[in-house]
Amino acid sequence: MGYLMKKDSVEDAAFILYIIPILLNGGYGLWSWVAVGADLAALQQVYINLTREPVIFLVGLIAVCVAVVLDARYLSPIEDVERRVTRLAVFCFITALIIALLSTGFNLSRGLILFLQGRYALIFPALLMVLTFLFKVRGLSSTSLRGVGRWLSLLLLLVAPLTLYLLWRLGAVWYAVFTVPLILVIASLALMMRS
């Protein structure tokens, strides 16, 4: 009975973590759009602001990475996790493209230009696809302690450049901008060598 409750709790947590990027972007975008005036010109500005917001991007990426670790460790075979992450990446890509087109009145050229200007609308699905590629390349095992070390290693490696960018954008002192990501990379390499 206790095992089933734990499994259900982990399953619920993983599901919530998978949808955090969608909820964050949708909620913040809707709130911003209504706050500045709900018209197409405002939607374009909200789209640009939202797809360039590093904190929302990082929180969403970290939430998905934690969901992947929970899902692979406690619930599903790696093929199922890979399929879920791929579907999330495709959903995010298509949704961002549709919103960019919608905000330009379905003008294809202006909509595609707006879509390409929203950097995180492209980077987030691309990083999720890289993550699914790493599943195939690394052949990570979800049942051993070594597999958890590899997962954590990959997570740290994915977060390091994003941390550098976020600290730089937030105006942190130069040594923090370079030291924190360097520590993350060193920790990732140490975990990779141990596992």
DSSP string, 22-42: HHHHHHHHHHHHHHH-SSHHH
Answer yes or no: are the C-beta atoms of 121 and 51 closer than 8 Å: yes
Is the pLDDT at 108 greater than 80? The verdict is: yes
Which residues lie closer than 8 Å to 132 by C-beta, 6 or more apart? Answer: 82, 85, 86, 89
For residue range 137-189, what is the model confidence (pLDDT) as tens digits? 555 444 555 566 767 777 777 777 778 777 777 888 877 877 888 888 888 87
pLDDT of residue 136: 63
CA 65 to chain CA mean position, Å: 7
Please tell me the predicted confidence (pLDDT) of residue 146. Answer: 57
46 φ, ψ to 5°? -65, -40
Which pLDDT value is given to residue 175?
Answer: 79
How far is the C-alpha of 191 from the C-alpha of 139, rounded, in Å?
16
User: Does residue 114 register a pLDDT over 70?
Assistant: yes
Min mean pLDDT across 2-11, 54-63, 121-130, 168-177 is at: 2-11
> For residue 39, what pLDDT band results from cuts at 50, 70 and 90?
confident
* 121 alpha carbon, distance to own chain's centre: 10
Tell me whether residue 61 is exposed, middle or buried, using C-beta atoms within 10 angstroms of its C-beta: 0 to 12, 13 to 18, 19 or more.
Answer: buried
Segment 35-39 mean pLDDT: 85
Instruction: Give Rg (Cα) of the chain.
Output: 18
* Domains of the chain, residue spans: 2-139, 144-195
Q: With 50 as the cut, is the pLDDT of residue 1 above it?
A: no
**Residues 46 and 29: beta-carbon distance below 8 Å:** yes
Residue whose pair of structure tokens reads 């030291």 in the numeric block: 179
Instruction: Give 66-97 pLDDT, tens digit per residue.
Output: 898 888 888 777 788 888 888 998 899 899 98
Identify the CA nearest to 138 among candidates 69, 192, 83, 64. Answer: 192
Residues 6+ apart with CB under 8 A from 19: none
